[in-house]
């Protein structure tokens, strides 16, 4: 569902991403760890088609990102660290608006169903987003991904700034995505969350993918040790 072949990005003499080769299959959850500047966000932006590679290519559902940047948007959803929605609109109004932009029209009951699936309390559905917590805004973003029927989800630092309850809610949602056969690519600093949610974990350093490990073979403490030795 998500593949990169020698994906490379160079700015003058600076290599932001060096010949990344990666495959994430249907139902898998890939967590990418690395320090700030390691190349995690560059990778996501290239998968989104926002940054053109110097060489190589990425594929979403076997569709070339460089050749079909608009077509891939039908298959993926992006949830950034800070979900950018309209603060003056309610949760359900934001969901309705962005669903229609993606080409989907739902009645009120269907919109409520998407929000309920994310665990957003019904009392918040009709309140302006300006009063939402980060975790609540994130749930609206996830509801939009569900409404788009996105097969691939790209998440950038999704647990940053979330309290433990919101982090647990998010973890369960991501695991649910995997069980539904969706593919998740997540850039994060959260080692403990990565172990609990991911099927595979990568460690990136200076634009290179140094490690690509199945998560069930080690504990969070062992991963932390591997991570510190790698970076």
**pLDDT tens profile 118-175:** 999 999 999 999 999 988 999 999 999 999 999 999 999 888 888 888 888 888 888 9
Classify 12 in phi/psi space as left (phi over 0), alpha (psi -120 to 50) or beta.
Answer: left
Predicted confidence at residue 59, as pLDDT, reads 96
Q: Considering the chain, what is the average pLDDT of its residues?
A: 93
What is the rounded CA–CA span in Å between residue 40 and residue 60?
Answer: 17
What is the rounded CA–CA span in Å between residue 74 and residue 59?
Answer: 13
Predicted confidence at residue 159, as pLDDT, reads 85
Predicted confidence at residue 143, as pLDDT, reads 93
What is the rounded CA–CA span in Å between residue 3 and residue 59?
Answer: 5
User: Is the pLDDT higher at 6 or at 230?
Assistant: 6
Percent of the chain with pLDDT over 90: 73
pTM across the whole model:
0.91
């Amino acid at each position: 569902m998500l593949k990169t072949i020698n994906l490379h990005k160079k700015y003058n003499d600076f290599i932001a991403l060096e010949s990344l080769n990666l495959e994430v299959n249907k139902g898998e959850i890939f967590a990418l760890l690395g320090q700030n500047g390691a190349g995690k966000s560059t990778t996501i932006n290239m998968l989104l088609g926002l940054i053109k590679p110097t060489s190589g290519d990425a594929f979403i559902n076997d569709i070339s990102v460089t050749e079909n940047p608009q077509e891939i948007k039908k298959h993926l959803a992006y949830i950034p660290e800070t979900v950018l929605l309209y603060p003056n609109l309610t949760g359900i109004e934001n969901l309705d608006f962005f669903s229609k932009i993606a080409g989907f029209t739902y009645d009120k009951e269907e919109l409520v169903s998407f929000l309920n699936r994310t665990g957003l309390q019904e009392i918040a559905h009709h309140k302006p987003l300006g009063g939402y917590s980060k975790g609540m805004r994130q749930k609206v973003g996830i509801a939009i991904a569900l409404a788009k029927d996105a097969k691939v989800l790209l998440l950038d630092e999704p647990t940053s700034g979330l309290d433990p309850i919101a982090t647990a809610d998010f973890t369960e949602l991501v695991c649910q995505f995997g069980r539904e056969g969706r593919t998740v690519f997540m850039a994060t600093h959260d080692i403990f969350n990565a172990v609990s949610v991911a099927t595979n974990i990568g460690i990136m350093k200076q634009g290179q993918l140094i490690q690509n490990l199945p998560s069930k073979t080690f504990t969070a403490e062992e991963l932390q040790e591997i991570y510190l030795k790698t970076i």
